[in-house]
Structure formats: structure tokens, C-alpha cells
A and B are shown apart, each in its own frame.
Chain A
Amino acid sequence: GQQLNQSPQSMFIQEGEDVSMNCTSSSIFNTWLWYKQEPGEGPVLLIALYKAGELTSNGRLTAQFGITRKDSFLNISASIPSDVGIYFCAGHIRGKSTFGDGTTLTVKP
């Protein structure tokens, strides 16, 4: 099946720093999705990308859908303590999502 490589696996940053994470795949997707999951909760959709090359922002979050449709990145600017959690990318095609392994973000005040 399709697989996504998400990196980095974890990040430890200082409050105020910018964060960047990305996902790559050997297969193309029609939609790229970025989710955040907090302990004991289901993932919450942050940003959805629908077109190759699309760059979308949601507050301090910016994500891009790669031109080849095989990759995507998520940037978080000026991180704050409540940004902690696990961030998952997901590629979506034919109604099915494939998830990356997640990036665990820790923000030190």
C-alpha cells in the first residue's frame, strides 16, 4: 500500500521559534491534510490542501501541497506552549487517507 515518510519524528523547540515538518510519498495524492492530535483525543484537522502547488495559511500555520503531488510541508511560526502535540500528515485519494507516523512537538516556555 501507499506509505508516507514524515519527518522529523520529534522536535524540541523554544517558545517563539518557527517549526517546519514535511511528508513525502512515492505515490501521488489528490489531497494533503495536516492534523494535530493531543493526548487521549482524536486528530483535529488543521489545514487541507487540494491542488498541486497550493499554499494555504491558517493563523500561524502554513502548509503547501508539493508540485509533484507527492509531498507537503507544514510550518508553524512563533510557536507557543499550546502548540505541543503530535502532528500528522495524511494523503487522501479515492476516499482513503494514509497517515504519516507523526511529528511530536515539544515547546519549552
Chain B
Amino acid sequence: GAVVSQHPSRVICKSGTSVKIECRSLDFQATTMFWYRQFPKQSLMLMATSNEGSKATYEQGVEKDKFLINHASLTLSTLTVTSAHPEDSSFYICSATDRANTEAFFGQGTRLTVV
């Protein structure tokens, strides 16, 4: 299957700082990328959908000014958690689809801990 690389895999940051997470499609052009958040022992909750070259679409309840998403190229999307707080600690996962949009391939995930 297609490869999606997410970086970093783990990050610890201080409360009030910002953290950037990268999601790259390595062997295909990802016209759409999705960002999910997963709390322990729970399912993946979609945060936002980003299409290359346009603004991201956020799910209800997700603060767009707190979770900044940029999808400037067909192979890279970034999620920046701004002014992070301990309650933002979670597992963040990206996925990407190609133009056919029939499957989604996931990155390895990023474990964010805000202290």
C-alpha cells in the first residue's frame, strides 16, 4: 500500500508553546489529507479535512485557530497545535487519499504530551 510518514512520533512540550506535526505522502500525490485525534481506548475522531491549496474544513467543535492546518503541496500537510495545554495531550494521526479517494492510508501517529 501507499506510504504516509508522520513526524515526530513523540513530542513533549511546555504548556503555552506551539507544536508542529508533519504528514507526508511518500509515493503518491495526496489531494486530501485528514487529521484525527485519538484518546486512550477510543476511536479516531476526525478533526479536519485539508485539500491541497485550499483552507481546511474543520469538524464541529474543533477550534481552527488552535489547530492550524496547512496543505501547501500534494505531499505535505502540517498540523500546528498553538498555545498547547495539558488537555491537548493526545495521539494525533493523519491520513491521506489520492485522487481516486477510495482508500485512506495512515501515518504512524504523534503522541503529544503537554506538561
* Interface-centre pick from A42, A99, A101, A104 (highest chain B CB count, 10 A): A42
* A40 neighbours in B (Cβ, 8 Å): 91, 109, 111
Counting chain B residues whose Cβ lies within 8 A of the other chain, the interface size class is 20 to 34
The total of Cβ contacts below 8 Å across the A-B interface reads: 57
Interface of chain A: mostly helix, strand, loop or mixed? strand
Using CB atoms and an 8 Å cutoff, list the residues of chain B in contact with chain A: 1, 6, 32, 34, 41-44, 46, 49, 91, 93, 95, 97, 101-109, 111
Known contacts A45-B105, A92-B102; is-contact A102 B43 (Cβ 8 Å): yes
Using a CB-CB cutoff of 8 Å, which residues 28-81 of chain A contact chain B? 30-31, 33, 35, 40-45, 48, 50
Using CB atoms and an 8 Å cutoff, list the residues of chain A in contact with chain B: 30-31, 33, 35, 40-45, 48, 50, 88, 90, 92, 94-102, 104
Interface of chain B: mostly helix, strand, loop or mixed? strand
> Judging by beta carbons under 8 Å apart, are B32 and A95 in contact?
yes
In the bound complex, how far is the Cα of B111 from the Cα of A67, in angstroms?
38
> Judging by beta carbons under 8 Å apart, are B6 and A42 in contact?
yes
* A35 neighbours in B (Cβ, 8 Å): 106
In the bound complex, how far is the Cα of B104 from the Cα of A90, in angstroms?
10
Q: A45-B103, A97-B46 are in contact. List 6 more A-B contacts (CB 8 A).
A: A35-B106, A45-B106, A94-B101, A96-B34, A101-B42, A102-B43
